[in-house]
Amino acid sequence: MLVGGLAAILASTCCLGPLVLITLGFSGAWIANLTVLEPYRPVFIGVALVALLVAWRRIWRPSTVCAPGEVCAAPRVKRGYRVLYGAVVVLVAIALAFPYVAPWFY
């Protein structure tokens, strides 16, 4: 989940970085240079989606059965993983949609 979230943030840095700097009061022509990672955006999106798919498979479709007494067998832990996964999916969706919504704020 961490890799998926990080990849989504990197995929949106081309638009998110300048907007955050402008919001904080920074300005100047050098902000245009922050689009260096834009060509790699499709790669980061792919990494984010693959990481989320792998995390989904480990959380909802366990390949091994947990023995009683192990951490993965506790319903509370499973529920925690699922809630955390849902939160990460929402954050990744926001990060991936942000470049399309950002022009409305400039």
pLDDT in tens, 16-61: 666 676 677 766 655 665 666 678 778 878 888 888 888 888 888 7
Number of H helices, E strands in the chain: 4, 0
pTM to 2 decimals? 0.62
Per-residue pLDDT, averaged over 83-90, amounts to: 88
Q: Name the residue with tokens 């689009």.
A: 35
pLDDT at residue 88 greater than cutoff 80: yes
Distances, alpha carbon 90 to alpha carbons 1, 30, 52, 86, in Å: 12, 31, 11, 6
Both tokens of 91, joined, read 């954050």
| Phi and psi torsions of 55, nearest 5° | -65, -40
**Residue 61 per-residue DSSP state:** S
